[in-house]
């Protein structure tokens, strides 16, 4: 990504789940725009692969479990010591445990809600304290078009709808401190995980998408970049559907 405008020069960005497919794409995009990217992923090997891609000594890897409030506080404290600021938080870490209602266990429910929803809350709470002091900041939450409801995903849809509610509530609460809170809801994105879906499912999802194709990781990364930079300086509490026009399942 040569010759990309440096909208994020001098900014520090924390991306959770940055060892994963979308998180890595987001980290690369923010880094290309000049940000120092803090890579948070409890899978250290994947986090290190992202750090290798960025290829800079200033991209620091944290293997904190974002569902653990002490670990989150420690990570944010460490970044504060190193850089004195976090300008951008991307709450990206997330996962699914799909099952129809009667087959969904409490373990499936708790795992998905804890990771997708509580993790974002814990990171926002820890980081916002620093942003409030600095009177500026950007929080970008990654939801999913499944927030509108999807069969077999009552846990995930609830968590991702919760992320939308969190965006709306935190956006209200934090606006007076100069902090914008926005949300990106991806549709079907061409990741290795999506590639593993049965062909029939992929075909059905593409048919539901007016653009008749999957999105790319860069499409999500570009949306996150927009919300991270001054290009969106008067935008908060918004949910951007990056879904090729698909509005539900």
Ligand X SMILES: NC(=O)c1ccc[n+]([C@@H]2O[C@H](COP(=O)([O-])OP(=O)(O)OC[C@H]3O[C@@H](n4cnc5c(N)ncnc54)[C@H](O)[C@@H]3O)[C@@H](O)[C@H]2O)c1
Residues that bind ligand X (CB under 6 A): 17, 19-23, 41-43, 46, 65-67, 92-95, 115, 119, 142, 144, 186, 189, 191, 193-194
Residue nearer to ligand X on the CB measure, 31 or 46: 46
**Helix, strand, coil percent values for the chain (each to nearest 5):** 50, 15, 35
Phi and psi at residue 72, to the nearest 5° = -65, -45
Print burial letters for 29-56: b (CB count within 10 Å at least 16), e (below 16).
Answer: bbbbbbbbbbbbbbeeebbebbbeebee
State the minimum distance, in angstroms, from the CB of residue 176 to ligand X: 28
State the minimum distance, in angstroms, from the CB of residue 58 to ligand X: 21
How far is the CA of 194 from the CAs of 17, 94, 109, 136, in angstroms? Answer: 17, 15, 22, 36
- Burial of residue 59 (CB within 10 Å: 0-12, 13-18, 19+) is buried
Residue nearer to ligand X on the CB measure, 119 or 244: 119
Residue nearer to ligand X on the CB measure, 35 or 115: 115
Residues labelled as active-site residues: 156
State the minimum distance, in angstroms, from the CB of residue 150 to ligand X: 10
Residue whose Cβ sits closest to ligand X: 20
Return the bridge partners of 12, or none: 36
Residue nearer to ligand X on the CB measure, 134 or 190: 190
Closest of 26, 8, 88 to residue 217, by C-alpha:
26
State the minimum distance, in angstroms, from the CB of residue 93 to ligand X: 4
């Amino acid at each position: 990504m040569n010759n990309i405008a440096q909208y994020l020069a001098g900014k520090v960005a924390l991306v959770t789940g940055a060892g994963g497919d979308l998180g890595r794409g987001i980290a690369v995009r923010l880094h290309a725009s000049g940000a120092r990217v803090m890579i948070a992923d409890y899978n250290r090997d994947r986090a290190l692969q992202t750090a290798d891609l960025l290829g800079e000594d200033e991209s620091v890897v944290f293997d904190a479990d974002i569902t653990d409030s002490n670990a989150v506080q420690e990570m944010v404290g460490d970044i504060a010591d190193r850089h004195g600021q976090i300008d951008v938080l991307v709450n990206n870490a997330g996962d699914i445990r799909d099952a129809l209602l009667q087959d969904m266990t409490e373990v499936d429910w708790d795992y998905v809600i804890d990771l997708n929803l509580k993790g974002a809350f814990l990171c926002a709470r820890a980081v916002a304290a620093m942003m409030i002091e600095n009177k500026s900041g950007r929080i970008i939450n990654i939801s999913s078009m499944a927030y509108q409801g999807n069969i077999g995903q009552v846990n995930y849809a609830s968590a991702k709808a919760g992320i939308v509610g969190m965006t709306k509530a935190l956006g209200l609460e934090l606006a007076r401190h100069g902090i914008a809170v926005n949300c990106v809801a991806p549709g079907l994105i061409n990741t290795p995980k999506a590639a593993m879906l049965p062909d029939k499912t992929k075909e059905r999802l593409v048919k539901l998408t007016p653009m008749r194709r999957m999105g790319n990781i860069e499409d999500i990364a570009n949306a996150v970049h927009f919300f991270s930079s001054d290009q969106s300086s008067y935008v908060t509490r918004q949910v951007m559907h990056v879904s090729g026009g698909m509005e539900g399942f």
